[in-house]
Chains A and B, each alone.
Chain A
């Protein structure tokens, strides 16, 4: 045992070149990932950025009680769950459907062209994409022109100032931007399916839909399961860059997600401890959700992350 230890230490020094590659990485992680975790302790303090951390008084669960009785907190929970549910139920299947239909295209060149084009919006900044949305949804914007031309509305509506539309705006703009990119992983999974399976099914008389259902979908099922678990466990998160871009004072009561609430309370109002308490609670719930989703998926389909 002791000899083994000294042997390891010797090897460690003989490997100094390799070690000098890895150790800076570990130091980086300790500073930028572990130190912030340590700072989570301010959720239990009345922390002020002006004095050293340990001089701040401990206040126990005071901030946790405070946010639980804050109406704005519950509103942000509702908004987050609302937006996430729409994205989960109506958004999750769309990249799968797109990948399925793309997979049926015979011409390789056309397929590749469509794929290349469909990724493009993923690489465009939210400032640009959000800017386009704000223009389309505003006065004289395309949506108003279209709706009026179709006779669906009589006068201009400022869609982005109307809180009730906000969740749908985030859903549609996200779908528009990320569908092609979301499909990439399914397309990769479909590329790995054995073509012999299709030939055998065709000989057995399975038509196109049956082949799609029984072979393609069944083959990518583990991928779907993993992405679904991740989507469910991310239900308390939101696309901060998107919401931050599209929100305004008029729609804030439907736009303030949990992320935005933490930002507003912590960095705008300077309530660091309070905000950290919300963050802390959210991380714990999110972790629980990950385990729950994974467990449920394992029971129902046999597919899971671990």
Chain B
């Protein structure tokens, strides 16, 4: 009797906990579902307001507006270019610095590490950084997305601690075979560090893809605006681009801004939703490496 009651209590807990976790999943996924169904809702229906569960009439009209909008699509191109270049440069540069610093016989290592550590604690902050970028000619320049994002102390520490787990004998045997330090790094160390490279590439790519406020601060020219900055203007400032206004006029102003907004949001998020499941498996491993050290 007593045993059975205890068993039932545990069962009840399990049921409640499972329900709770399902609720968490629902709450997490629902916002994305909401964007999807509203982007697919037909313009006529969208005029009546947003839908919560299913589109009243399926339609791709909003997508055709977004995909034909020159400024948004140019923003998509700038964002893609920025994300690819910035991620490759960040991973390579940070890994190379980390590899050098992971060698304990490096002359000046203590000084280098101190210089690096201080950057973690102190920083100039928004205004001095802004002035510096202006003086360096990076204001309103595509390279403002790449060069200041080349390096991060935190990611360097993750790389460093990972490199130290690679057995020395591997590197030594390559050295005996006559490989230079660069040879060892590119042929032995980096190919054995794919998990950490994938994680840091993911973080860097997501940051560069999602960032809108570098674009708000440093970019004036329409031709250099990343997609998220354009989205910010459409959503938060409610300013439609010329093309969108024209498209709306074509629909006899029957196409409300809302469905365009949601379709743009979907286009801006799709790459993340597509790549996320592939990279996800590296994520936990990579974050654990970071969590243990950081």
Decide yes or no whether A199 CB sits under 8 A from chain B: no
CA A240 to CA B20, docked complex, whole Å: 31
A-B contact count (CB 8 A): 245
Identify the interface centre among B125, B150, B151, B231: most chain A CB within 10 Å of its CB.
B125
A263 cross-chain contacts in B, Cβ below 8 A:
126
**Nearest Cβ on chain A to B2's Cβ, whole angstroms:** 13
Given A98-B24, A134-B235, A184-B284, do A125 and B209 touch, yes or no (CB 8 Å)? yes
Given A17-B181, A22-B100, do A267 and B127 touch, yes or no (CB 8 Å)? yes
Q: Give the contact-size bracket for chain A.
A: 35 or more
Given A105-B21, A188-B288, do A125 and B268 touch, yes or no (CB 8 Å)? yes
Taking CB as reference atom, which chain B residue is nearest A209?
A: B13
CA A29 to CA B182, docked complex, whole Å: 22
Chain B interfacial residues counted at CB < 8 A: 86
- B25 is contacted by which of A26, A29, A33, A114 (Cβ under 8 Å)? A114
A102 cross-chain contacts in B, Cβ below 8 A:
21
- A142 is contacted by which of B24, B52, B121, B231 (Cβ under 8 Å)? B52
CA A179 to CA B65, docked complex, whole Å: 35
Given A18-B100, A105-B18, do A12 and B107 touch, yes or no (CB 8 Å)? yes
Within 8 A of A (CB), among B16-71: 17-18, 20-21, 24-25, 27-29, 31-32, 34-35, 49-50, 52
Question: Residue-by-residue, is A112-128 near B (CB-CB < 8 Å gives 1, otherwise 0)?
Answer: 01111111110111111
Taking CB as reference atom, which chain A residue is nearest B22?
A: A114
- Whether B100 contacts A21 by the Cβ 8 Å rule is yes
Within 8 A of B (CB), among A258-301: 259, 262-263, 266-267, 272, 275-276, 279, 283, 287
Within 8 A of B (CB), among A217-266: 240-241, 244-246, 248, 259, 262-263, 266
Decide yes or no whether B132 CB sits under 8 A from chain A: yes
- Whether A240 contacts B236 by the Cβ 8 Å rule is no
Q: Chain B contact residues: over half helix, strand or loop, or mixed? A: helix
* Stretch binding the partner chain, chosen from B111-119, B190-198, B246-254: B111-119
CA A141 to CA B34, docked complex, whole Å: 12
- Whether B128 contacts A39 by the Cβ 8 Å rule is yes
B108 cross-chain contacts in A, Cβ below 8 A:
12, 19
CA A24 to CA B180, docked complex, whole Å: 19
B225 cross-chain contacts in A, Cβ below 8 A:
none
Given A18-B106, A120-B28, do A266 and B21 touch, yes or no (CB 8 Å)? no
Decide yes or no whether B158 CB sits under 8 A from chain A: no
Please report A residues at the B interface, Cβ cutoff 8 Å. Answer: 8, 11-12, 15, 17-19, 21-22, 24-26, 28-40, 42, 49, 98, 101-102, 104-106, 110, 113-121, 123-132, 134-135, 140-142, 145, 176, 179-180, 184-185, 188-189, 208, 240-241, 244-246, 248, 259, 262-263, 266-267, 272, 275-276, 279, 283, 287
Other than the known A26-B116, A142-B52, A188-B287, what 13 A-B pairs have Cβ atoms closer than 8 Å?
A30-B115, A39-B128, A39-B129, A105-B21, A117-B25, A120-B32, A125-B212, A125-B228, A126-B212, A176-B28, A180-B24, A245-B236, A276-B128
